[in-house]
Amino acid sequence: MSGEEAFAVRRRLSILGSTGSIGRQSLEVMAALGLSVGALTAHRNAALLEEQVRRFRPELAVLADESAARDLAVRLADTPTRVAAGRSGLLEAATLEGVDTVLTAVVGIAGAEPTLAAIRAGKDIALANKETLVCAGALVTAAAREAGVELLPVDSEHSAIFQCLQGCADRGEVERILLTASGGPFYGKDWQALSLVTKEQALQHPNWSMGAKITVDSATMMNKGFEVIEAMWLYDLPLERIDVVIHRESVIHSLVEFRDGAVLAQLGVPDMRLPIQYALTWPRRLPCPTPRLDLLRCPNLTFLPPDGENFPCLDLARQAARRGGVVPAALNGANEAAVALFLEGRIGFCDIPRLCQRAVAAAPEIPAPSLEDVLSADAAARADARSGI
């Protein structure tokens, strides 16, 4: 198939968070597909962004950090790429003309404003930045409906569900979604043992190589809690119809059970390049360089119920989603602050769920919040988590 035929839909992309784990793999996928790059953004890694700009020649490169952006501008003075900085730069990158799709690979709620701006500018979204849906799911899905743009999942579980739902025109035919969870490095440990784990241990994920924040979220199971909320918004299903099963081997990426009892699943080796590529080529499938699943060499597939007692974050996320409003944003804000404190060595692993519990308990009830409400709930929860240590 010619590149042209494959990309009747997606031709020019921007990546928000191009220097991260998803961002780097996305550039690799885009290079193989021959897609062109509109804008690249990152937080403050000028050296890597310079390298990416020299290779992919985007029109615009943005660093959120102003002084790193000045450094980048000097580094790129001999190139035609324009450099911008800060919030206005990120918003410009998100809405750049001539770009049809924005891949959001920023970590945390920092992705919310640019993602909403991209949607309102009519861009399809390839969404990795789950925190945006956790915090502002109602706003984001309403804006996407209004603008008539696609929200294409990059998260592997949500991509699996998306793949299983192809051809299902009536959501009423879906009985439930079953998200698989590896359980992270600590599954099977009790609270006492968990209180002693180190940051180095938390960063050793058994199956996936990812950014530090999501790796810690996987260890606490907060990542799966966030993914339940993400699935609720992406697939417009009530919480009660989204279940989680521990599947240590990460071969089945998630399942959909239909009302006739049929269960469809997507299987594969754990490699983010496939879900990234599917978000970019949907509804087509193209060759992908990921290693193939060999069933005869595959480990035995096992399934266990989640351990809610020692890993309370999953239920905490459900509780936040049930209350709605800004409660999930407060949970996310406290979690971002707590994970950062844990990575700085200032709190223990079990302090993460403790600080998150406190934020959920303290979160105000604000029905139908605006983005400003969401951002101020986030800021309050962060400040509270930092003062609570």
Where does this chain bind ligand NAD (CB under 6 A)? 17-23, 42-43, 45, 64, 105-107, 110, 128-131, 155, 208, 210-211, 213-214, 272
Angle at 193 between CA 192 and CA 197, to 5 degrees: 125
Query: Which of the choices Mg ion, ligand NAD, none does residue 210 contact, using the CB cut-off of 5 to 8 A by kind?
Result: ligand NAD
Report helix, strand or coil for 301. Answer: coil
21-25 own/partner pairs: CB under 8 Å, 24+ apart: 21/209, 21/210, 21/211, 21/272, 22/103, 22/105, 22/128, 22/154, 22/211, 22/272, 22/276, 23/103, 23/105, 25/272, 25/273, 25/276
Q: Provide the residue type at 328 as one letter.
A: P
208 binds, among Mg ion, ligand NAD, none (CB under 5 to 8 A by kind): ligand NAD
Nearer to ligand NAD, 155 or 378 (CB): 155
Pick what 386 binds: ligand NAD, Mg ion, none; C-beta below 5 to 8 Å, kind-dependent: none
* Residue 313-352 contact track with Mg ion, rule CB under 5 A, x = bound: ----------------------------------------
Question: Taking CB positions, which residue lies at the least distance from ligand NAD?
Answer: 20
| Among the listed residues 311, 333, 116, the one whose alpha carbon sits nearest the alpha carbon of residue 221 | 311
Here's the x/- map for Mg ion, 130-159, by CB under 5 A: it reads as -------------------------xxx--
Tell me the site size for Mg ion, rule CB under 5 A: 3
Least distance between Mg ion and beta carbon 366 (Å): 28
Least Å from the CB of residue 244 to Mg ion? 11
Dihedral sign computed on CA atoms, order 94, 161, 225, 217: negative
Q: Round the CA-based radius of gyration of the chain to a whole number and report it.
A: 20
Contacted entry of Mg ion, ligand NAD, none for residue 110, CB cut-off 5 to 8 Å set by kind: ligand NAD
Contact 72, 61 (CB under 8 A): yes
22's contact among ligand NAD, Mg ion, none, with CB below 5 to 8 A by partner kind, is ligand NAD
